[in-house]
A = this chain, B = another copy of it.
Amino acid sequence: MLKEEPAPASGGEAASERVAKHLRAQILSGAIGPGERIRQEDIAEQFGLSRLPVREALRMLETEGLTELQANKGARVPHLSMSEVDVIYRMRESLEPLALGESLPLLDTADIERLGSIQSRIEANTDIQGFLDLDREFHLLSYSGCTVEPLSSYVVRLWNTTQHYRRAFIALSGPGRMWIVNAEHQLLLDAIVRRDVVDAGNILRGHIRRTRIELAQHPDIFGPGK
């Protein structure tokens, strides 16, 4: 896993962004779980860089809510409490219908076909990581028409920061209630095809709300009691 070469000519883009991209993937994949510490020197060594671009990268990720930096105490992946995840979901219940409303009129038929194809793959899917990736792709694609900042990036941020807890939730609850997700996605997809912003927004809001409530029934996912 060690790259001993001194950054092989790089890809032309900034080194700190490469590091950020790598760490982002690590965190989203669950390879770095919440609460886990990230030592600058370790990462620097892995990439054959100094600690400076690593610090930059950690700051960039802090912007996205994926890391938190305390002075003289280092960087960690934030450990969210149940009440924090609960509030994030309630924020999503407002913001994602807003993003969808911005996005829907700008989606073309090719986008919508891709949405349908992703949903087919979700229904055929079996493993957890596969579902997480496809579900994320489905929803974020439905928002892809919304390019206005900071809404679009913040929606992604809320997804990113709760990724780990979604994984834990699905692993715990099993595939028993997966049919509900598919039913909701089907309704959402139909509303999108009909270009019905109001319908789509309501279904989406309910989809997120239901997930929030089911999540709240698994307090064991979150670290200490709180």
Task: Give the interface size class of chain A.
Answer: 20 to 34
A98 within 8 Å of B (CB atoms): yes
What's the dominant secondary structure at chain A's contact region?
helix
In the complex, A91 Cα to B157 Cα: how many Å?
15
What sequence of 0s and 1s flags, for each residue 69-110 of chain A, a beta carbon within 8 Å of any chain B beta carbon? 001100000000001100110110011001000100000000
Contacts of A90 in B (CB 8 A): 98
Which residue of chain B has its CB nearest to the CB of A70? Answer: B14
- Which of A117-162 touch B at CB < 8 Å? 148-151, 154, 161
Tell whether, in the assembled complex, residue B65 and residue A87 are in contact, meaning their CB atoms are under 8 Å apart.
Answer: no
A56 within 8 Å of B (CB atoms): yes
What sequence of 0s and 1s flags, for each residue 1-37 of chain A, a beta carbon within 8 Å of any chain B beta carbon? 0000000000001100100000000000000000000
Tell whether, in the assembled complex, residue B91 and residue A151 are in contact, meaning their CB atoms are under 8 Å apart.
Answer: yes
In the complex, A71 Cα to B87 Cα: how many Å?
34
Tell whether, in the assembled complex, residue A91 and residue B95 are in contact, meaning their CB atoms are under 8 Å apart.
Answer: yes
A60 within 8 Å of B (CB atoms): yes
A182 within 8 Å of B (CB atoms): no
| The residue from B60, B71, B88, B95 contacting A59, defined by CB atoms under 8 A apart | B60
Contacts of A98 in B (CB 8 A): 87, 90-91, 94
Contacts of A72 in B (CB 8 A): 14
Measured CB to CB, the closest approach of chain B to A161, in angstroms, equals: 7
Q: A62 and B65 in contact (CB under 8 A), knowing A84-B149, A94-B98, A148-B83? A: no
Selected A-B contacts with CB under 8 Å, 22 pairs: A13-B71, A14-B71, A14-B72, A17-B71, A55-B56, A56-B59, A59-B62, A84-B149, A84-B150, A87-B98, A87-B102, A87-B148, A87-B149, A87-B150, A91-B95, A91-B150, A91-B151, A91-B154, A94-B95, A95-B95, A150-B161, A154-B154
The 5 closest A-B pairs by CB, nearest first: A94-B94, A59-B59, A14-B71, A63-B63, A87-B148
Q: Which residues of A contact B (CB under 8 A)?
A: 13-14, 17, 55-56, 59-60, 62-63, 65, 71-72, 83-84, 87-88, 90-91, 94-95, 98, 102, 148-151, 154, 161
